[in-house]
Amino acid sequence: MSLGTNISRLRAEKHLSQGDLAELLDVSRQSVSKWETDGSVPDLDKLVKLSRVFDVTLDELVTGEAPAHPGDSAAPEAPVQAPGPAGLPSRKIAGIILFCMAFLTLLVCTAAGGVLTGLILCVPFLLCGAICFLAKKRPGLWCAWTVYLLVELYLRWGTGITWQLTMLTFSFTPEMNYTRLLVSWGQLIVMLVMFAATIRSFRHVRLEPCRRNFILLGIGWAAIVGLNALKSWGYTQLYQSPSLSFGQGTYLLMQAGDLLLLAGFAALLAATACAFRPWRRRHKGTF
């Protein structure tokens, strides 16, 4: 009996669909389908997870034969609970907890007389809760980006501090407030950590290094550079023109636009790394 047949049989015994099994293993449904038709073989870590999901040993999973002495075989570690009426995926449980925290935040702030403050503070919990329900892959990364961008937006809008202040480090004076400089360095470090975490999260994703993908990446980078130049020119015109004025709402939108460009830059950086990684490995021996 082949490995694919065993996976299909054990999945049916657990009353799991291919989609359910794919979600438990954090893979696509097409990958499960290929395993069951012997079109591909799961990696070792996926085999271990399969054995835990099906509550069988690796030997029984691969060969389809139960061990001769079940009492002597090592019990599988904490079998993964199948999704169903009695259980929810951990990401959805986290989403429910985040929604409850949003409600409690709004309730406490409203009781204290700060309804607007409660609405502002509950937004991160609501957004992260929605991400946990909607994102089947990397919900933690998307939640981290959401919190980072919201905090960055608040700092820019409420205090005017951005990571660009680090460029003035050597010309900073006590009158300019060294605390602002320290906060800007913290923003820069966190931003670099977010970039590194995003690239690492997509380290197993491969983009075919073909002409079409390189053209799309080039267009994306050109768009980012062009939009950034247009933004800088627009800011210059606004600040130099005495007849133009804008309120806090307009300033908030401007800062949100800056952060959208930052998020686009991070996405293009990760996509570029995914495209050049296989190309670099393929040509490693030629350098």
Q: Taking the alpha carbons of 75, 80, 82, 87 in that order, is the dihedral positive or negative?
A: positive
Confidence of residue 90 (pLDDT cuts 50, 70, 90): confident
Q: How many CA atoms lie within 13 A of 283 on its CB side?
A: 6
**Are 52 and 79 contacting, i.e. CB atoms less than 8 angstroms apart?**
yes
Burial 147-160 (b: 16+ CB within 10 A, else e): ebbbebeebbeeee
DSSP one-letter code for 239:
H
pLDDT top residue among 188 and 9: 188
What pLDDT score was predicted for residue 185?
A: 93
Residues 84, 92: contact at Cβ < 8 Å? no
SS (H, E, C) 85-137: CCECCHHHHHHHHHHHHHHHHHHHHHHCCCHHHHHHHHHHHHHHHHHHHHCCC
> Is the pLDDT reported for residue 281 higher than 60?
no
Q: What global pTM score does this model have?
A: 0.61
Mean pLDDT (whole number) for 11-32? 81
Question: Mind listing the pLDDT tens digit for each residue in 215-242?
Answer: 888 998 899 899 888 877 777 766 666 6
Q: CA angle at residue 266 from 261 to 267, to 5 degrees?
A: 95
DSSP at 168: G
**For position 66, what pLDDT does the model report?**
60
Contact 137, 26 (CB under 8 A): yes
Residue 67 has what DSSP assignment?
-
CATH fit for domain 3-72, picks 3.40.830.10, 2.60.40.1180, 1.10.260.40, 1.20.120.790:
1.10.260.40
The Cα–Cα gap between 147 and 124 comes to 6
d(CA 45, CA 166): 43
CB contact at 8 A, 94 and 100: no
CA angle 198, 200, 202 (to 5 degrees): 75
User: According to DSSP H, which parts of 135-202 are helical?
Assistant: 139-159, 178-201
CB 214 within 8 A of CB 222: no
CB atoms within 10 A of CB 53: 23
How many whole angstroms separate alpha carbon 112 and alpha carbon 106? 10
Of residues 194 and 246, the one with the higher pLDDT is 194
